[in-house]
Amino acid sequence: MNYARRSARNWYTAMGVLFIIMALIVLARNIIIWGPGFVLDFLLNSEITNEKVSLGMIVFGSFLIIIGFKKRIPKNS
């Protein structure tokens, strides 16, 4: 059977959503524990911090979602 629906249920979109959710959990936890001022300071300093890794995870997760929703070229069979 060939379904004519958008391929939202694939590996790329699922992993992208997981990356974004994990990053948001880490950012929310740090904001609750440290407060928004400290998190902003950690985000803007020159060291590699948890907040910068979380932002990278959000960017990478968004990239995976874009790849997952990209239209595929059907194979000739």
Tens-binned pLDDT, residue by residue, of the chain (77 aa): 555 555 546 889 999 999 999 999 999 999 999 999 999 999 999 999 999 999 999 999 999 999 988 866 666 65
pLDDT score for 44: 92
Residue by residue, DSSP assigns 46-65 as SS--HHHHHHHHHHHHHHHH
Domain boundaries, the chain: 11-69
Measured over the CA atoms of residue 5, residue 10, residue 12 and residue 16, the dihedral's sign is positive
φ, ψ (nearest 5 deg) of residue 67: -65, -40
